[in-house]
Structure 1
Amino acid sequence: MSDLPEPVSFHTALEKFLDHLRSQKRSTATTIAYGSDLEQLKKHLDERRITQATTVRTEHLETYVEYLATQNYTPKSISRKINSLKTFFKFLHREKIVPENPAHPLTHPKYETKPPHILTPAEVQSLRDAARLDIRISAIVELLLQTGMRISELANLRVEDIRKNEIHIGVLENNPARTIPVSRSASVAVQNYLAVRPKVTDPHLFVTKTGRPLLVRNIRTSIDRYFKKAGVKDAKVNDLRHTFIAHQLRQGVDPELIHKHVGHRRLTSTQKYLEYITVDVVETHTRLSEL
């Protein structure tokens, strides 16, 4: 008898992988991104009559990566797609769907990491002014600015997660649950929103006028629109998280405290921001500073 696994189509393997992501409560955006990357690989393999996940070899994937480089993808985009391939085939190997992981030998292209875009106080104020009449977006802006939480975490918040002077952030995308303090201005903004929030049964904190959860892409589009209205150029919603972290470090807040607050897996992820800022104080603080 052969020890080789039974042939499994790429389509079936992909569906198993996406089901696994959903079972792990990975965000919709993450699942869609993986699906898009792997469907692109599937199309490439189909054109070469490679339809079984069990017959994919390292040389097939290397050829695919070389193909991406000819299609005007940036090294950073190619690196992200390689991550998708590695995660996918690592799952298939662990589940004994493929005999070995063909993506393991793949290497990432080198590229320069851009420094985080940290908003100036004037840009922060311009954004607040631009969104002031939109109570829902004002609350979102304040939460992102005053907590540094991820946009996916904000979209996943439930009304019951809002507590007096703190917010509970549940497990999401392998990030552990945590409870974080909330500044007075963010708390006021959220309470103002709750006063006008549609009376619907959906438990999500931020919902549309029809009572559906506000998705990450909806939030991103809205914030982008208000950045444009505020005249803040080249800014993205993730810059609010960068700005929170940089502000706390400037104020001398202990990096260990910030690291736990924003949910960084490694302390070095927080410490890297020190390369781009000047710390304004000498002593170290153990309380977060309001932005």
Structure 2
Amino acid sequence: MGLDALFKQFTLDHEFRLEPSTIKTYENAIKQLLEYTEKSLDVITISDIRSWLGHLKEIGYKLSTISVKLSGVKTFFSYCLEEGITLTNPAEKVPFPHIGEKLPRYLTLDQLNRLRQYLDGRLQERAIVEILYATGVRISELCAMKKEDIDWSERIIHIPKGKRKKGRIVLFTWESAEHLKVYLESRTDNLPFLFLGGKWKNRPIYRQQVSEWFAKCSKRLGFKVTPHTLRHTFAAHCAQKGMPLDYIQVLLGHESPEDTHYYAKLYNQARKEMYDDFM
């Protein structure tokens, strides 16, 4: 099978698990590796991959970028081994570069309350903050929400197509439900979208609009807050209240080892801060 045909098959087999941009990034990494080694897939060795990674570092690639490229190479070679394209996976035992990771940033309860106070009277913005904080959803998931996705009696929101196109459900609190109801009752339209955007408020709200609005909030309040900050805040506050890590990860829709590692660090830090407050 030719390389182009193999990439096409890889894409078809992974389109329901990986975002198109991720697949493209992985494909580019493989092409870059092949160009560097001037070898075919079936003869590339672990030494070749290590040499390539060292070359990337020498020419100025960030460790985070190198890590993503290696992840792509590992995934692709694993696929090739499963499909019988290669006899081994030379990338399997290549370690990821050590990156001095920063802990995910989240709001303290005082900062969260200051944000809430700042939004007093702004019904849609306050409802957005409450839903992001109560559910931990991604901004893309929030923007795609429709009224029909909400089960008020069970306080459940259905996320039909989250990251990697896998649906799930999230829970929301009584407080967030009240703010969401007040906002929806203030609307006079019959549009199906949960939150409205655009100049005429006649379309679903979009990511850039929410990001710009949060940037203004950050400038006014004196601390940075983004939709992803509220996702981190949801996870951290759940940890501080004693929710097990695996429960939090289910609610966040996590599956990858990278996500697990990232939020495990946040979980441990949040629990430590709660311990420090009591001691």
Specify the SS of the correspondent of 2:219. helix
Within 2, Cα distance between the matches of 1:48 and 1:228? 47
Aligned to 1:247: 237
Cα distance, 1:169 vs structure 2: 3.2
The answer to which structure has the higher helix fraction is 2
Aligned to 2:69: 81
| Bigger shift: residues 110-119 or 253-262 | 253-262
Cα distance, 1:235 vs structure 2: 4.7
Within 2, Cα distance between the matches of 1:281 and 1:220? 33
How many residue pairs end up in the alignment? 267
Q: Deviations over 1:109-147 (max 9, x none)?
A: 123332221212343245446666775554332212112
Aligned to 2:9: 16
Within 2, Cα distance between the matches of 1:259 and 1:135? 29
Q: Which of 107, 110, 114 is 2:102 aligned to?
A: 114
Within 2, Cα distance between the matches of 1:254 and 1:45? 43
1:179 paired with 2:179, answer: no
| Bigger shift: residues 108-117 or 165-174 | 165-174
Within 1, Cα distance between the matches of 2:28 and 2:185? 40
| Bigger shift: residues 204-213 or 164-173 | 204-213
Write out aligned runs for 1:227-246 (5 A): 227-233=217-223, 235-246=225-236
AA aligned to 1:183 is T
1:154 paired with 2:142, answer: yes
- In angstroms, what is the RMSD of aligned CA positions? 4.0
Aligned to 1:141: 129
Cα distance, 1:213 vs structure 2: 6.1
Within 1, Cα distance between the matches of 2:247 and 2:165? 16
AA aligned to 2:96 is H
Cα distance, 1:241 vs structure 2: 1.8
Q: Provide closer, same or farther for how the CA distance between residues 121 and 38 of structure 1 changes in structure 2, counting only shifts above 3 A.
A: same
Q: Is the 8 A contact 2:80 2:86 kept in 1?
A: yes
1:91 paired with 2:79, answer: yes
Cα distance, 1:243 vs structure 2: 1.2
Within 2, Cα distance between the matches of 1:35 and 1:276? 39
Q: Is the 8 A contact 1:117 1:242 kept in 2?
A: yes
Unaligned stretches of 5+ residues in structure 2: none
Q: Provide closer, same or farther for how the CA distance between residues 57 and 195 of structure 1 changes in structure 2, counting only shifts above 3 A.
A: farther
Specify the SS of the correspondent of 2:239. helix
Q: Is the 8 A contact 1:126 1:230 kept in 2?
A: no
Q: Provide closer, same or farther for how the CA distance between residues 43 and 253 of structure 1 changes in structure 2, counting only shifts above 3 A.
A: closer
Aligned to 1:277: 273
Q: Deviations over 1:51-105 (max 9, x none)?
A: x545544344323211221243333332232122211221222223333323213
Percent identity between matched residues is 23
Q: Provide closer, same or farther for how the CA distance between residues 13 and 148 of structure 1 changes in structure 2, counting only shifts above 3 A.
A: same
Write out aligned runs for 1:165-244 (5 A): 165-170=155-160, 172-173=162-163, 178-191=168-181, 192=183, 196=187, 205=194, 208-209=197-198, 218=208, 221-222=211-212, 225-233=215-223, 235-244=225-234
Q: Is the 8 A contact 2:26 2:72 kept in 1?
A: yes
Q: Provide closer, same or farther for how the CA distance between residues 272 and 62 of structure 1 changes in structure 2, counting only shifts above 3 A.
A: same
TM-score when normalising by structure 2: 0.71
Q: Is the 8 A contact 1:131 1:137 kept in 2?
A: yes
Q: Is the 8 A contact 2:34 2:41 kept in 1?
A: no
Unaligned stretches of 5+ residues in structure 1: 1-5, 283-291
1:36 paired with 2:25, answer: yes
